[in-house]
Structure 1
């Protein structure tokens, strides 16, 4: 829970007392590798926080193929923002990639906290903006270069993900086939 408390301290917006009070309202969850945390076509009414582990966010294309959109790493919150704010079903699913410890809190509780604790609403807006900016930054390299360039950038930016995420999810994220990724990895190993 220390990581959660540290992130609740983001920007110095909340008091130490508020951080303690808020952190106690989060529920601890454990997910096994490959376990679905939230399936698609549900309404997102909980916000999650990854204490330890990795969460994959994916959607299914019209051919019923899973497409990895991004990964949520330790110290990051996760929720389908559109579903959460509009109360509509989400298009994305959330899955633990490895054994994952997460905390979650309901929308109802967050709404109550926003009314009761000064600056909590400001904190939520700040963390949402930071989350969106990080998501844009995390995915910007996918727009440039060939498959090898993208893979090298991926392993440079996210060495822990490169080591712990199954190859098929990385390939899906990079928008290449697992076979292409396997060839790339072999080329890189041989050139070192």
Structure 2
């Protein structure tokens, strides 16, 4: 729970007592690899914090192939705001890619704390903006360059994920085949 408290201290907006009060409302959950946090076509009702491990957000394309849209790493919050605010089911699923420990809090419980913790609203909007900006950066590096360039950028941005996450998920995220990724990894290993 220390990582959660540290994340809640981001930006210095919440007092120590606010952080203690809020962190007690989160529930700990342990996931096995490939276990779901959010199934397809469900309405999202909770905020997730990744204490340890990694999750992936993925959809299915018209050919039935899984497409990894992003990874959620340790010390990050995640919530599908579109599904929550619209009340509509999500077309994406969220799945642990390795054994993962998370903390969750229902949106309704979190939002009730706005009255008692005035800076919590500002904190949540700051996190949402930061997540949006990170998503834009990720989209930029995924849309430019060849497969080798994208993988090199992935290694630079996410060295820990590159070591932990199964190759097929990384390949899907980079929009290349697992075979292409394997060849790139082999070439890079020979260059060392």
TM-score, with normalisation over the residues of structure 1? 0.97
In structure 1, distance between residues paired with 2:41 and 2:3: 30
Which moved further from structure 2: 86-95 or 48-57? 86-95
Alignment of 1:24-103 (within 5 A): 24-103=24-103
Over the residues paired in the alignment, what is the CA RMSD in angstroms? 1.0
Which moved further from structure 2: 7-16 or 114-123? 114-123
Runs of 4+ in 1 over 4 A off after TM superposition: none
Q: Secondary structure at the match of 2:4?
A: helix
Q: Tell me the equivalent position of 2:147.
A: 147
In structure 2, distance between residues paired with 1:185 and 1:120: 43
Q: Tell me the equivalent position of 2:116.
A: 116
Cα deviation for residue 116 of structure 1 reads 2.4
Q: Tell me the equivalent position of 1:18.
A: 18
Deviations 1:166-186 (A, max 9, x none): 010000000011111111111
Q: Which runs of 5+ in 1 are unaligned?
A: none
Alignment of 1:152-163 (within 5 A): 152-163=152-163
In structure 2, distance between residues paired with 1:45 and 1:133: 23
Q: Tell me the equivalent position of 1:166.
A: 166
In structure 2, distance between residues paired with 1:94 and 1:87: 17
Q: Secondary structure at the match of 1:62?
A: coil
In structure 2, distance between residues paired with 1:137 and 1:6: 24
Which moved further from structure 2: 134-143 or 20-29? 134-143
- The question of whether the paired residues in 2 share the 8 Å contact of 1:26 and 1:105 is answered with yes
In structure 1, distance between residues paired with 2:136 and 2:2: 27
**What is the count of residue pairs matched by the alignment?**
192
- The question of whether the paired residues in 2 share the 8 Å contact of 1:80 and 1:92 is answered with no
Cα deviation for residue 138 of structure 1 reads 2.9
Q: Secondary structure at the match of 2:7?
A: helix
TM-score, with normalisation over the residues of structure 2? 0.97
Q: Secondary structure at the match of 1:172?
A: helix
Q: Secondary structure at the match of 1:132?
A: helix
